[in-house]
Amino acid sequence: MDLADYTFSSQTPTWCPGCGNFAVLSAVKKSLAELNIAPKDTVVTYDIGCGGNMVNNLAVCGFASLHGRSIPVAVGVKAANPALTVIAQGGDGGLLNEGASHLIHAAQRNDNITVLLHNNQVFALTAGQASSTTPKETVTKSTPQGVSYLPLNPLLLGAASGAKFLARVSPFDFDESVGVMKQAITYQGFSLVEIIMPCLIWSTKEETTFLKTKTFFPNDLPKNRGQILDYLAKEENRLALGILWQE
């Protein structure tokens, strides 16, 4: 397949110039093209949020669902036709606030879908409210005194829920993102890929610096479930990239 096969030529993304969503769109297209999975055999379900605009730009079978509901729609699609490649996309607000229970139970059941979780640490489309991944003490429109609680780690939640494939990518490491997405998409079972991407409009300067400078590729990966839980629970000041857990 060719990249053009996954492109609606009449559509232009409406994201802010420089938004990480452009790189995510390109990485998903390249992954599908290199895996030679035809658009007609691919279903991507979307949340409501900035990433959801991709439904107009990725020329596969798309389903724009409600906020927090891209995972149950994906699970239903896969149950109805297991031959399809099914990917659910959503933001941290959609998948970890509004729809957190769906993420937990899809991981627990090991539903054979891939979840691409766009973590920009904020409700961006609705103009900058705190989400469950916003760092503690961050001042946002909904937390003028600063966030009073610790942020959720999406991969730790996935690991605690039983997910068997856990990965994290930065869309700015493009080739690495494509490599990870290809493995996630072909994984037989539930695969969770956290995409860390600051929002150019609503992330604070501190969050943007953290997400851009505190990433690394670990040498020693956890070898059993206890170790991955421990590893992720201790991730406070830096973020490991790549496939961190697979069983």
Ligand X SMILES: Cc1ncc(C[n+]2csc(CCOP(=O)(O)OP(=O)(O)O)c2C)c(N)n1
Stretch that binds ligand X, among 10-18, 72-80, 84-92, 165-173 (CB under 6 A): 84-92
Task: Tell me if 102 contacts ligand X by CB under 6 A.
Answer: no
- The 8-class DSSP code of residue 129 comes to B
Contact between 27 and ligand X (CB under 6 A)?
no
User: Does residue 61 bind ligand SF4 (CB under 6 A)?
Assistant: no
| Of the candidate residues 6, 21, 30, 99, the single one contacting ligand SF4 (CB under 6 A) | 21
Rule CB under 6 A: is residue 56 a binding residue for ligand X?
A: no
Residue 80 Cβ, how far from ligand X at the closest point, in Å?
A: 23
- Binding partner at 47 among ligand SF4, ligand X, none, C-beta below 5 to 8 Å by kind: ligand X
117 in contact with ligand SF4 (CB under 6 A): no
Q: Are 179 and 193 in contact (CB under 8 A)?
A: no
Candidates 23, 27, 32, 50: give the one binding ligand SF4 (CB under 6 A). 50
SS (H, E, C) 177-221: HHHHHHHHHHCCCCEEEEEECCCCCCCCHHHHHHHHHCEECCCCC
Burial 24-38 (b: 16+ CB within 10 A, else e): bbbbbbbbbbeeebe
Identify the three-state secondary structure at position 123: strand
Residue (of 81, 48, 79, 50) closest to 63 by Cα position: 48
What character string, x for contact with ligand X (CB under 6 A) and - otherwise, covers 127-166? ----x-----------------------------------
# chain residues binding ligand X, by CB under 6 A: 21
Buried b (16+ CB within 10 A) or exposed e, 201-211: ebbbeebbebb
Under the rule (CB under 6 A), what is the footprint of ligand SF4?
Answer: 15-16, 19, 21, 50, 120, 124, 199-202
